[in-house]
Structure 1
Amino acid sequence: MQELANDIVHVLPAKNLNNWILFVNACHLLTKPLITDKEIDEAHSKLQLFCTRFQTLYRKSAMTLNMHLHLYLGKCAHEFEPIYAFWLFSFERYNGLLKNIKTNQKGGFESTMMKRFLERTYIGSFIQSFVNHLPQFAIDFLHRISNSQDQLAALHPSSTASIFSLSDFIEYSLNSRHSVLGCEPLPPSVFPIKLNQRITMCKGHYECLLEFYRHAYDSHNLFGHYSNWESNQIFVNNRIEKMK
C-alpha cells in the first residue's frame, strides 16, 4: 500500500493529488467502526469539496452517479450509525475469501472452510499473545510468515490503524456528553470471555432492565412477558449469560 501511495505521488499533479487525498481521508473516517457526529460532518465536508473540485479538474462529463451518492453517506451515518455496520462490501469480500479456500470436495467442506477462516482471522491475536514471552523480532517474523500484516501494523505506534482501547470504551459508554456511534466487536485480546450457563433474571432486576430499555429507546412497544407477546411487539428476554 505504501508503494502504491508513493507511485501516485509521482504520477498525479499536486492539485489532483490533494483532491484525491480529500476522498481518502473521508473514506478513512466513514469506514471506522466507531465515529462521532463531528467526524461524520467532517467526512461529508471533505466529500463535498472533493466532488466540487473533481468537476473542475476533470469536467462534468467525468462525474458519475456514485459521486452524487457520496453526498448522502453522512446522512446515512447519522441515521443508521456507522456504514461499517450495514454495508455489504466486506460481506461480499469474505464470500470471496471463503470460496478460495481449498477443500477436498468430498463433503464436510463447511467445517473445513470455517476452520481455515477462523485460523486466518485470529492468527494475529494468537501471535500477539506471546508478546511478553518472545523478542519483538520473533513476533514480527511470525506475523510476516503468517501474512497477518493487519495485526502487525497495529503493533507499531506509527500505524494509522484503529487500536481498541478498553479504557476509552468504558469512558465513552458511561459519559453521556460523548456523542459516539459504533458497531465494534470487542477483540479477543480484551479479556478471555468465558460464559456461565444461561440463567433467568430475578423479577426485580428484569423489571428494571425492561424499564431502562423503554426509556432508552423511547418506546413502550417493548414487551416483557412472552405469553402475552404479539408479532408487532418486541420481546425482551429475561434469560442472560454472565461472564466468569
Structure 2
Amino acid sequence: MTATDWKAWCLVYSPFVLKNELPPAHLNNWMKFVDACSILSKTSIIYEEIDDTDRLLKEFVGRCSSLYGPECITPNMHLHLHLRKTIEDFSTIYTYWLFSFERYNGFMKDAETNQKDSFELTFMKRFIEKTGALDFIRTRISSCLAGRPQELEVLLKIAGQSHTPYQQNQAQYNPLIFNQLSSDPTIDVIGSEPLPADTLLSMTEGQKTRFNEQSYELLLQHYQQHYDGVYSILQQTPGRICCYNEVEKFRSIEIFGQQYWSALSKSIRGSHIQALFLQHGDVVAWTGQVQYYFRHVLVVDRVPKQHYFAYVRWYHTEAGQRFEQEGLEEWRNRFMIDDRHSILPVHCISSQVAIVAYGP
C-alpha cells in the first residue's frame, strides 16, 4: 500500500469496516487515532485543534498500553507525543511531510547529466536555474512586458509554467483569511475574493458559453444579494451594473494541491463536496455534487471583477441515521430544487466527500 492508500484506509474506510469487527473498547480507542489524523492531515490548523490532537494521541497511546501491553508501543507511537511541539515549531505536518520530498526522487532519476560533473552539482544547477528563471520573469520582466501577453506567455513556458495566471491582486491574498471563508458561514462571500495561485492556474483553459435561463437567474440573484443596482440583460437601465450572460466553464479546479472534479469530468469521483451554512442559527454541513465550475466577469464602477463559482446541486436529507462517531452521514440519492445557494463561491468549499451506496 502507498502512503495515499494508508491515508484513505485510516480516514475513510477503517471506521466503517471495523465497526462490527473490533470490540467497542478497541474501536473507540482506534477512533481517537482516526480523529487525530483527520486534523493532522489538514492543510491548515489552529491552536485549539493542536490541543485536541495532542489530547487524542495521548489517550490513544495510553489506552494501547493498557489494552495490548507496553511492548506494543513503537518508536512511531512515542513520536506521536512530540507532534504538538513539532507543529508549533514548523506549522502543519502538510507543509513538511515527505511526500513532496520523495516525489523529487522521480525528477532526479530523469535528470540528464553531462558525464563531466557530479550528478548532485548538475541536478542542483538545473533546478536552481529553472526556479530562478520563473521568479526572475515574474518579478522583473513581467512589468516590462505589460500589454504584450504573447511574449510573456512564451517566456513563462520556457521557464516551466504552462499557463499565465489571471492577473488578480495577489498582494491581497492571505491564506488565513482564505481558509476562514470556507470555515465560517457567517462571512458574506461574494466570489471575487483573492484566490491561491494554484487555483488561478487551474482555471486558465475553460469553455466559454452562455447560461440557460434558470442558471442565469440564480446567478443574478446571487449578485443582487451583494451589489446594489444589478440588472439583467433584458433590462435597459443605463448607469447601473449589467449582469451579462457569458461565462467560462471548467471541469475541475485545484485548491491547496487538492483536485476538485465535477459532473462534467469523465469520472464523477471527487465531484462531491460539503459546504457550511447557517440554518436556524446553527452551523450545518451540506453535501452536494458540483456540476461544473465557472468564471464570470461583472463590471463594477467601470472595473471588471472576476468571480469564481461552483454550480452545485444539493442532496436531500431526512431524519435518518447519522454515524457521528465514524464521520459518516446518510443522504438521499436525489437533489433538491436548484436555488441561489446552487451558485457557490469556490472559496466556500469546505471539503471533498466520499460517496458510497448504502441502504435500499
Please, what TM-score do these two structures have when normalized by structure 2? Answer: 0.31
Please identify which structure carries the higher strand content.
2
More helix by share: 1
Of structures 1 and 2, the one scoring higher in RCO (CA 8 A, sep 6+) is 1
